[in-house]
Structure 1
Amino acid sequence: MNKYILIILYVFQINAEAQSSALDVADSLYANGNYTKAINSYLEIEDKHAVYSKIAKAYLALGNRGKALENYKLSTDANPDDALIKYEYAKLLLASKKYKEASDIFEKLIYIDYKNPNYHYQKGLALEKLNDSTALNRFLSAYNLDDTHQKAIYKIARHHLVKRHHQLSHRYIDKGLESYAENIELISLKAQNYYYQEYHDQAITWFNKLIELGETSEFIHEKLSLSYAKQSDYKEAIYHRTEALKYNPYNATAMYVIGTYYEKLKDYKQAEEFISKSLNLKDVPLNDEYIKLGRVLNYQKKYAEAIVAYQKAVKEKPQDLFAQFALLTTKDQYYADKKTVIKLYEKFIEDHPNDKMFKPLIEHRISELKKEEFMNKD
């Protein structure tokens, strides 16, 4: 009898060694990136309970999430007490937009180990995707368990930024920057907080920190441009708005804004160029832009072109009395025949009898023109 037992044990040992050898081969194939062959090798192993999660990882490496999920499910069923496998499975469910299933597994993991901050954080991500307002509580739990948890801090700080709870948002950001001073996401939130608080000098400092760290985007340069403009630093405002244009070269609004900054610097030629570009790009030009173009053309004494711009402004918005008045004053500058100008002014008063803003100015100008006409006769 002992002889038979020894034979059986020997057979088991040989089989175990063979299985171990097969597992080593499969693991080696996986480690070297030969995922399909690794899967085939794992499938040859009799005890699949031990390799379902490995098969899942190999399928995931190949980009086959469906098969990866299928094998993670088999692995969790075969190893119900293995928290790590559950965690990997839940994360893949979350990445695959199966938010409810992921949330349920993270809930079970929290029950198993409440003090694991990542379980709370991942649960929060799932709840966030489910539009569940309690997601913030999970992020707070993750933070309370680990106050250096950068991702949880970002979520909490961003929540308070959206709610315009700026001081609270700053508090969490500062805490996060204590342990990771170059966290780009937190620095961005810091800059945005200051921007929305209208503390533009601080916003400039923090947006520039992002650039120093190699982070650039249309959003960063646009907000820097607006902040510099609030500080009346129009040269820097132009520079950053021009940088923003590199990301969106046909942004008509950005071109128009650059034109207004050049106007502030009294560089009317550049102002004309950018405002004209803006108008050419717009499907439906607005009268405000034409008024602005007319003004910068007037500064350059390009009265004929200014008249055309103001006429377009009036066409866009006929009820805009300012555009009509600007058109009249430009014609006054351009027309040599002042009798015609007087008639145009009188027609404006006739057409707008209830106007109290421009009527006094026009009456005064008519009086001046008539005196000039009288003096010229003498």
Structure 2
Amino acid sequence: MKTLVSVFLLVFCVTAEGQISNSKIADSLYATGNYIKAINYYAEEGSKSSGLQIARAYNAIGNFEKAIAQYQNVLSKKTTLQIAKFELGKLFLKTNDFNNAESLFLELTKVANDNPEYHYYLGETFREQKNVEKSIVSYKNATATDSTHLRSLFQLGKYYVGQREKDSALTFIDRGLRFYENDVALINLKALTYYNNDEYVKASPYFERLLELGEHKEYIYEKLAYCYFKDWEFEKAKINYKKVLELNDENSEAYFNLGHVFWKDKQIDSAQYYIQESIAVQKPFLLNEYVSLAGIARNKGDIKKALKYYKLAHQENPNDALVYHNVCTVADQYYKDPKIKLTYYEKFDERFGNKNNYMSKMVNKRISELKEKIHYDVK
């Protein structure tokens, strides 16, 4: 009898030791991102916790269908497991299955009403469903259970900034900044709150703070420049508008506003220059449109109009050899005087002669023909 008991205990210990070993190996593989091998070890182990880890591993590798199926399998065995419901809800949200996400987060907020994350993710689900009123209620519920819940405070601040409700916006923004004073998203909202309310002097320090924190973005420089302009700090405004143009030299509004700064500062020539640049960068690029209109005109037999559009296309892109070759061939059709025709082909040869062998050969052949015709016409 003692022998049988000893054998049983030995087998039990070996089995338990093997499970512990598999669990440790699986956890190590999971922690280092070797998810497929981790799944195999967790599957061998077969415990409730390993089932949850398998779901997490599938989620980590982006196999969301298998992850969802595994979470549902875990919950079928233990329906009260909050962590599985929470992670599955977030996965439903990630995969745009908002109805299932909503059901899970509603259930979780009823079970654990004091958990701000459950309220926050329910708010995120409502937001994705464009149900703004319900999302705001959920974010407020999150901050009621945790007054420092930054993501909920941000969403509330953002909403009230959009509504131009300054006092409400600042209530939530300032609460977040008291907890984390360098939160870039909240500082940005505070700057916009004052900016949208035409309080440019108050907005400036917050845009400046964003730059100090490394947020060197076009819109920040642009809004800060405008704040300086409104506060008659013209040199600072110029510096910041020029920063905008360093980041985006096609920002027509920045050119225009910079022109107005110079104008206000009585530097008329500079004002004129930047406003003209504003016009220049707004000019549309119409090459394809002009080429198409030229082709339509040719089809209709209107050679004069075709030539007009090809010339306009050439002005849009003087470096396009094919476009100017079309100018030449249409001019050849339109003009009767071989000398006029010759000037077009010679201009092509001068501009593109070494760049396109096929077209150059055709052009040189036509130049020879026209020169021969002019020679005999003179005689």
TM-score relative to the length of structure 2:
0.69
Q: Distance in 2 between matches of 1:166 and 1:129?
A: 25
Q: Deviations over 1:202-235 (max 9, x none)?
A: 0111111211222221221111111111112222
Q: CA deviation at 1:139?
A: 0.7
Q: Deviations over 1:259-305 (max 9, x none)?
A: 222222233333333223222222369xxxxxxxxxxxxxxxxxxxx
Identify if the C-alpha distance between structure 1 residues 80 and 9 changes in structure 2 by more than 3 Å, giving closer, same or farther.
Answer: farther
5 Å-filtered alignment, 1:190-229, equals: 190-229=190-229
Q: Deviations over 1:323-363 (max 9, x none)?
A: xxxxxxxxxxxxxxxxxxxxxxxxxxxxxxxxxxxxxxxxx
Unaligned runs of 5+ in 2: 286-379
Partner of 1:151: 151
Aligned sequence identity (%): 31
Q: CA deviation at 1:106?
A: 0.9
207-216 or 62-71, which moves further after superposition?
A: 62-71
Partner of 1:39: 39
Q: Distance in 1 between matches of 2:221 and 2:97?
A: 37
Whether the 8 Å CA contact 1:75–1:85 is kept in 2: the answer is: yes
Partner of 2:184: 184
Q: Distance in 2 between matches of 1:268 and 1:176?
A: 46
Partner of 2:166: 166
Q: Distance in 2 between matches of 1:247 and 1:93?
A: 39
Q: CA deviation at 1:90?
A: 1.3
Q: What is the count of residue pairs matched by the alignment?
A: 284
Q: Distance in 2 between matches of 1:96 and 1:221?
A: 36
Unaligned runs of 5+ in 1: 286-378
Partner of 2:97: 98
Q: Distance in 1 between matches of 2:68 and 2:238?
A: 51
SS at match of 1:134: helix
Partner of 1:280: 280
Letter of the 1:158 partner, please give it.
K
Whether the 8 Å CA contact 1:160–1:166 is kept in 2: the answer is: yes
Q: Distance in 2 between matches of 1:3 and 1:136?
A: 69
Q: CA deviation at 1:135?
A: 0.9
Partner of 2:69: 70
Whether the 8 Å CA contact 1:161–1:193 is kept in 2: the answer is: yes
Q: CA deviation at 1:254?
A: 1.8
Whether the 8 Å CA contact 1:100–1:130 is kept in 2: the answer is: no
Q: Is the counterpart of residue 61 in structure 1 residue 60 in structure 2?
A: yes
6-15 or 139-148, which moves further after superposition?
A: 6-15
Q: Distance in 2 between matches of 1:248 and 1:60?
A: 39
Whether the 8 Å CA contact 1:201–1:227 is kept in 2: the answer is: yes
Q: CA deviation at 1:3?
A: 6.7
Q: Distance in 1 between matches of 2:173 and 2:143?
A: 12
Q: CA deviation at 1:2?
A: 8.2
Q: Distance in 2 between matches of 1:33 and 1:68?
A: 16
5 Å-filtered alignment, 1:255-294, equals: 255-283=255-283
TM-score relative to the length of structure 1:
0.69
Q: Distance in 2 between matches of 1:33 and 1:120?
A: 30
Q: Distance in 2 between matches of 1:60 and 1:247?
A: 38
SS at match of 1:209: helix
Large movers: runs of 4+ above 4 Å = 1-10
Q: CA deviation at 1:53?
A: 1.8
SS at match of 1:43: helix
